[in-house]
Structure 1
Amino acid sequence: MVTGAGGETAHHSAKTRARLDRLAWLLDSAIRLPGGFRIGLDGIIGLVPGVGDLVAAGLSSYIIAEAARMKLPGTLLARMGLNVLLELLVGSIPVIGDIFDFAFKANKRNVRLIEAYLEKASLGR
């Protein structure tokens, strides 16, 4: 059986990557607004005063946890963590932070980082 990054089977890795991509889409882009701009549940959850941004960061942390299970490098995990932390900190600022939440899309950024790393790793074999 072919193994990928972190010793995962290629099939499991593809399933995990598809699940993470779907979650990132749901959190960052699932709702189309007039004019074509897309928002997700992350920004909507973040509108809840006090705990919304923490809950959204918790959901975003799942993507990082899965990347860690895939045994991706610590530097990549740290960069992903900084994306989530930035979204959490700026997102906690009333109004401006909410707009930032809708635009920054940390989850999609993090899934792209995973994909880019795995693509580079597969070419380096």
Structure 2
Amino acid sequence: MMSLDNVSTTSRTSMKSDVRFGDSRAASVRRVKILARWMDDLFTLPGTKIGVGLDGILGLVPGVGDALTTVVSLHLVGEAVQAGARKKTIMRMLGVIGREFLIGLIPVVGDFFDLTHKSNRRILALLLDDLSH
């Protein structure tokens, strides 16, 4: 995965290349990175390398947990839009969220999927990849 230092803070298009646009993009990327960590890798299960975040914990609450985590993931997509991600990337992010939501509705299978899928990290990776081009 790419580090934040490699993310360009200038516009891909010739919209406005003023400092505020670059700061906004960098701020959006920072927020996505922080939220993705909180949702997917807040702590590591003792004796393993398995990261667990709020997504895995809240997902244990039937119905409500998956709805809450979906809202947070959609917020990450909103940040990606603000950062200037392309429509194709946004659609891929929405696909990741939709798949996690639908699988999350299945008892036990959805909980296991939350631990292994890490959709918010995937959203971050898609954003960083998009902005690097």
TM-score with structure 1 setting the length: 0.87
In structure 2, the partner of 1:4 is 11
Deviations 1:43-102 (A, max 9, x none): 111111121101110011001111122332211111000101111111111011100011
Residue 49 (structure 2) pairs with residue 28 (structure 1): no
Matching residue within 83, 86, 90 for 1:77:
90
Aligned residues: 119
Where structure 2 has 5 or more consecutive residues not aligned to the other structure, the ranges are 1-8
Residue 108 (structure 2) pairs with residue 95 (structure 1): yes
Deviations 1:6-38 (A, max 9, x none): 746222222221111010000001121021211
Q: What's the Cα RMSD here?
A: 1.6
Identity across the alignment (%): 34
Residues 44 and 51, structure 2, Cα contact 8 Å, conserved in 1: yes
Query: 2:10, 2:122 → 1: CA distance?
Result: 25
Between structures 1 and 2, the one with greater helix share = 1
Query: 1:80, 1:40 → 2: CA distance?
Result: 19
Higher relative contact order (CA 8 A, sep 6+): 2
Query: 2:83, 2:49 → 1: CA distance?
Result: 34
In structure 2, the partner of 1:43 is 56
TM-score with structure 2 setting the length: 0.82
Where structure 1 has 5 or more consecutive residues not aligned to the other structure, the ranges are 121-125
Matching residue within 2, 10, 14 for 2:26:
14
Report the AA paired with residue 56 of structure 1. Answer: T
